[in-house]
Structure 1
Amino acid sequence: MNIPASPPLLNPDGQHILIVEDEPKLGQLLIDYLIAGGYRPHLLANGNDVIPYVEQHNPDLILLDLMLPGKDGLTLCKEIRRFSEVPIVMVTAKIEEIDRLLGLEIGADDYICKPYSPREVVARVKTILRRCHRNSAPQADQAHLVVDEGRFQASFKNQSLELTPAEFRLLKTLATQPGIVLSREQLLNHLYDDYRVVTDRTVDSHIKNLRRKLEQLEEGEPFIRSVYGIGYRWEGAPCRIVS
């Protein structure tokens, strides 16, 4: 693992990243890489210090370790969500699916498992902040994706999408909840209106077809991201619903 040769200078105009990590070496490593990436990080090692800091300083993103002295990461995530929509990335050594699902259900935006590359963490931070900025206040003319519920039609940058009814419902469900991870079971509940019996893999098949149609119109746009072991989330352009 390559660490920057000399400590980079803190960018006073960089976005404020709160690191909550009780391992000093790991915390310092994240600080070094985030500063090198142009961010303004701050490190806390005890969970009891987090809520007062967030309330006072309003960081742009939180890298939140799960196992902490004082309050644990899940408790903190739940408490922060009562008063703030700040993006939260859970960082932990726990890799069981139930832990990932629980972390995301209580309001975490992403989940990184140890051991990890600090470069990957910086890349995730960049992606999440860009997505949150893009989705923070989309105006009607910024919404490149338009979903017309009345006509059962969708278009991207004024180009019509030829979608099946199932693909249309999936697109609407995902795009109207940007950044939220939806399980296959949740997506299945929106897929058909005749209560037919289908498997989770049906969702995967429809997602694959939907991605292909979207990428034909805009290659390189992230659109739909797979979250391993859980489901999918929308990372594409802002969506405008037409009734």
Structure 2
Amino acid sequence: MTRRPPPARLGFLYPGYAAEDDYPRMGAMLDPPAEIHLIHTEFMEDAHSVGALSEMGSVERLLQGAAFLEGSRIESVMWSSTSASFVLGLDGIRQQIDALEKRLGVPASTTAMAFARAVKAVDARRVAIAATYPEDVALLFRQFLGHFEIDVVHHSSRGIVTAAEVGTLEKEDVIDFARQNTPQNVDALLIPDTALHSAAWLTELEKATGTIVLTANQVSFWEALRLCGKLTPQPSLGTLFEEIP
């Protein structure tokens, strides 16, 4: 009889309230189910602007949230925000990761870095971006991907300012947005906002677009499992989870 591995114990620092229910949903979808520890971090302003995102992703804010994960026996921790990491650049991301690892003593990463690794994992050479952000923030995500020699052939900006509003978008709206921004001959579509629900619709998103779809909450969850060495093939979580390199 094969002994099942113990469940992963995953920590997530999530700014505010929007689509955080994606994480326990994905945890329950795993075999075996994961133990999820999710902490809501605080910030001054809910806005997709460089200034607000920089404050939201400051090391001080992350460490305030990390304090609530001490003693939780988590095996990895994610700063579950794409924009409040890439707006700070690679040096800022390194500072975020270093601070979390030193405070909690476990591997750490951010959603922005998870996107870069996930694109490489699925061997996507040409990608499109469907961003809910304003245009200036969407462009910064495109520039961030350029550091990893990821060829972005299309990007769109929905222009939504607050995470709270993004969190209200429903299934058909998200699928239509994805479909409208998937040009022919791309290897993957990237949807970079952890405020956007996607966990329940990953299979349908890939069917509607005809390509691999990588969403912010999906890649964050994948990265958390990868960091603690408990990433295994899983159904219903998209191509990213089907074959583990």
Please give the range of the TM-score, normalised by the shorter of the 2 chains.
0.3 to 0.5
**Bigger RCO (CA 8 Å, 6+ sep):** 2
TM-score (norm 2): 0.32
TM-score (norm 1): 0.32
